[in-house]
């Protein structure tokens, strides 16, 4: 039996023509670095971002429906970083909302430009 050793990437869906908004949100607001898609996949649209040792892929889906429950959770360094990011997202017009903290974890949610739910967590 093969053992799973970790997560390589997560993907969120977006509508056709999403690239500019994805770059503004994931690259500009969240500060993730875009990585080049392999040439064999570049024609499908979307874009990929480094997220620590993993990646977050924004893939084109037609028809498109946002994920309002399923979500990636992005880890921040500390509560001050979480608060600063939530403030930056809110100032940019993104929907954000706090959530019940879990033991040792501060949490909030944000919606990407396509309505996908993104969780933001930091050690409390």
pLDDT of residue 52: 93
Mean of the pLDDT values across residues 71-93?
Answer: 97
- In the chain, the percentage of residues whose pLDDT exceeds 70 is 100
Domain count, the chain: 1
Inter-CA distances, 84 with 21, 70, 78, 106, Å? 21, 24, 10, 13
Question: Cα–chain-centroid distance for residue 1?
Answer: 32
Report if residue 14 sits inside a domain.
Answer: yes
CA–CA dist 121, 107 (Å, integer)? 5
Taking the model in full, what pTM does it have? 0.94
Report if residue 1 sits inside a domain.
Answer: no
pLDDT digit string (tens) for 25-62? 999 999 999 999 999 999 999 999 999 999 999 999 99
Q: Does position 72 have pLDDT exceeding 90, yes or no?
A: yes
- CATH number, domain at 85? 3.10.180.10
Mean of the pLDDT values across residues 63-73?
Answer: 97
CA–CA dist 97, 29 (Å, integer)? 16
Q: Which domain holds residue 96?
A: 9-123
């Amino acid at each position: 039996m093969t053992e799973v050793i970790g997560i390589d990437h997560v993907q969120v869906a977006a509508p056709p023509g999403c690239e500019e908004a994805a770059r503004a949100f994931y690259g500009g607001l969240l500060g993730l670095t875009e990585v080049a898609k392999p040439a064999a996949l570049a024609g499908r649209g979307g874009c990929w971002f480094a997220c620590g040792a993993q990646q977050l892929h924004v893939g084109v889906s037609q028809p498109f429906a946002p994920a309002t429950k399923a979500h990636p959770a992005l880890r921040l360094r500390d509560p001050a970083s979480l608060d600063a990011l939530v403030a930056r997202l809110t100032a940019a017009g993104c929907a954000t909302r706090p959530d019940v903290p879990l033991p040792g974890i501060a949490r909030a949610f944000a919606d990407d430009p396509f309505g996908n739910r993104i969780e933001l967590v930091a050690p409390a």
